[in-house]
């Protein structure tokens, strides 16, 4: 072992000479280790474990990549060099986000994940969700094509006040083939959100009025060509800060003569521990207290008789 360590150090020195970016990488790893110690002394166990774990993983990855990039087989060298650069970019981003979270409490999702107490953040606005997911129009047409139309009717109840804008703003994403139309049931108008394609999905933003008398936003989503697989589900995408979902009730309306749905499961899996409870025609979650994605999915044979 005494002989192996000096040889390893010489190998790393040679690798650093041949690949100067390693100087920055080792420095970043050192900063991350120091940050892990400082965060632990500050009393934030989750962030300390995260920083420490990433330091260890990063060190091992850098060790392997640096050796492969300089002393490995020729076919390994370029992938290894790319891995070194990827590690550098990742840790620069991680450090930047973490420093920003502690310094200016941004970005909010990372602040929430690290459980940083920021006195200047807007107070959380608690909401309860009621959704009716109407799949009753799904059917196979006489020509074998699919009538793929799903209606989601949402009532979002604001329990501790409403946003200063008086609007409920929601990010949405749908499959690339799908179309969506949103009806603001408070204001009485319909909008087709502008969607941007990214990969296999389309992304957009919806803004609807909040009824000041009831502190409720009421809206209907009309999806076309977005539910054409044998796996289906109903869920809620991440909420914008400062909204926090404390409870949710979902009712399903299945197609007439629906034969069977199987393999019902919640995501994240922790919801199976009693936070959410299934019903024959839906589910309900109490004290869920989340601003992250949660959903129930299942398998079914609704498209069994379609030919296209």
3-class SS of residue 44: coil
Give, in order, the Cα–Cα distances in Å from 296 to each of 115, 227, 248.
27, 14, 12
The conformation of residue 273, written as its DSSP 8-state character, comes to G
* Domain segments of the chain as ranges: 4-113, 125-300
How many angstroms separate the CA atoms of 14 and 202, rounded?
A: 47
Q: What is the pLDDT of residue 43?
A: 47
Give, in order, the Cα–Cα distances in Å from 98 to each of 30, 32, 106, 115.
15, 10, 9, 12
Higher-pLDDT residue of 235 and 108 is 235
Q: What is the pLDDT of residue 223?
A: 96
Please calculate the CA angle 291-294-299 and round it to the nearest 5 degrees.
165
Contact at 8 Å (CB) between 150 and 135?
yes
Contact at 8 Å (CB) between 153 and 132?
yes
pLDDT per residue over 50-105, tens digit each?
Answer: 655 555 565 666 555 555 555 555 555 566 667 666 776 776 777 777 777 767 67
How many angstroms separate the CA atoms of 139 and 257, rounded?
A: 10
Residue 93 belongs to what H/E stretch? Answer: helix 74-104
Minimum mean pLDDT among 76-80, 135-139, 193-197, 272-276: which range? Answer: 76-80
Q: What is the pLDDT of residue 305?
A: 83
Torsion of CA 267, 270, 272, 278, to 10 degrees: -50
Residue 110, φ and ψ in degrees, nearest 5: -70, -35
Higher-pLDDT residue of 112 and 245 is 245
Higher-pLDDT residue of 17 and 116 is 116
What token pair was written down for 86? 């990827």
How many helices, marked H, and strands, marked E, lie in the chain? 5, 16
Higher-pLDDT residue of 282 and 55 is 282
Across the chain, what does the average pLDDT equal?
Answer: 80
Minimum mean pLDDT among 5-19, 97-111, 124-138, 294-308: which range? Answer: 5-19
- Bridge partners (DSSP) listed for residue 129: 156, 248
Q: What is the pLDDT of residue 8?
A: 47
Split at pLDDT 50, 70, 90, the class of 120 is: low
How many angstroms separate the CA atoms of 300 and 282, rounded?
A: 15
What token pair was written down for 40? 């632990």
Q: Cis peptide before 107, with omega less than 30 degrees from 0? A: yes
Residue with tokens 């020509």: 143
- Bridge partners (DSSP) listed for residue 261: 300
Residue 21 belongs to what H/E stretch? Answer: helix 21-42
The Cβ-side half-sphere exposure at 181, using a 13 Å CA radius, reads: 9
Among 299, 240, 235, which residue's Cα sits nearest to residue 268?
Answer: 235
Among 154, 132, 158, 152, which residue's Cα sits nearest to residue 210?
Answer: 158
Among 145, 146, 198, which residue's Cα sits nearest to residue 175?
Answer: 198
Torsion of CA 174, 171, 286, 183, to 10 degrees: -80
Q: What is the pLDDT of residue 208?
A: 97
């Amino acid at each position: 072992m005494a002989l192996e360590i000096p040889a390893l150090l010489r190998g790393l020195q040679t690798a650093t000479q041949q690949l100067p970016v390693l100087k920055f990488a080792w420095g970043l790893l050192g900063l991350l280790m120091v940050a892990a110690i400082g965060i632990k002394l500050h009393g934030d166990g989750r962030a300390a474990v995260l920083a420490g774990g990433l330091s260890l993983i990063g060190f091992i990855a850098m060790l392997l990549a640096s050796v492969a990039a300089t002393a490995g087989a020729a076919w390994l060298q370029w992938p290894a060099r790319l891995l070194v650069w990827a590690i550098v970019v990742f840790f620069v981003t991680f450090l930047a986000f973490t420093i920003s979270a502690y310094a200016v409490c941004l970005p909010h999702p990372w602040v929430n994940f690290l459980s940083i107490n920021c006195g200047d953040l807007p107070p959380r606005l608690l909401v309860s969700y009621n959704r009716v997911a109407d799949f009753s129009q799904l059917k196979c047409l006489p020509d074998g094509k699919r009538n793929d139309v799903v209606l989601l009717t949402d009532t979002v109840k604001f329990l501790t006040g409403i946003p200063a804008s008086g609007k409920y703003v929601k990010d949405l994403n749908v499959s690339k083939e799908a179309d969506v139309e949103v009806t603001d049931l408070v204001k009485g108008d319909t909008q087709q959100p502008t969607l941007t394609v990214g990969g296999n999905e389309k992304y957009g933003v919806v803004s609807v009025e909040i009824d000041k008398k009831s502190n409720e936003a009421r809206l209907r989503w009309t999806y076309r060509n977005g539910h054409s697989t044998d796996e289906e589900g109903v869920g809620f995408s991440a909420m914008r800060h400062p909204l926090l979902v404390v409870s949710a009730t979902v009712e399903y309306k299945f197609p007439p003569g629906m034969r069977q749905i199987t393999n019902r499961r919640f995501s994240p899996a922790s919801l199976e521990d009693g936070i959410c409870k299934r019903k024959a025609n839906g589910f309900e979650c109490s004290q869920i207290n989340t601003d992250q994605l949660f959903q129930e999915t299942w398998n079914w044979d609704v498209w069994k008789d379609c030919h296209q």
